Amino acid sequence: MRETEFKKWLIDTNLYTDRSLNDKMSHCRRIEKITGKDLDSLLRSSSASEALEVLSSIISGKEFSAYNRSHLTRALTLYSEFYERTQMMKPSSRKR
């Protein structure tokens, strides 16, 4: 996960308090721990909807409250939006 860039993106695009920003970052780190994958790797190898399905299948089998599941899902949704937008802004690496 690109924590510094993601945090800056959250500040620039959303109105979050410091506590809320830290919560989002914590939720993203927790997703990485649960899935065993870096969020960038997870999203590079699958679409956002597939990544959400993977997360849902993992956390539904564990003892997570609906409250925790919704926060983890929201964090992954935000990170996937950040990932997609920053990928579109990268220059193409193809040679001409």
Residue 25 domain-assigned (yes or no) = yes
Tally of domains within the chain: 1
Residue 34 domain-assigned (yes or no) = yes
Residue 96 domain-assigned (yes or no) = no
Residue 94 domain-assigned (yes or no) = no
Helix 18-35 to helix 48-60 angle (10° resolution) is 80
Residue 22 domain-assigned (yes or no) = yes
**Residue type present at position 78:** L
Q: Which mean pLDDT values do the consecutive 10-residue runs of the chain (96 residues) have?
A: 92 87 95 91 85 83 82 92 85 47
Quick one: pLDDT at residue 65? 85
Quick one: pLDDT at residue 19? 92
The alpha carbon torsion through 5, 6, 7, 8 (nearest 10 deg) reads 50
Structural domain boundaries enclosing 51: 3-87
Residue 93 domain-assigned (yes or no) = no
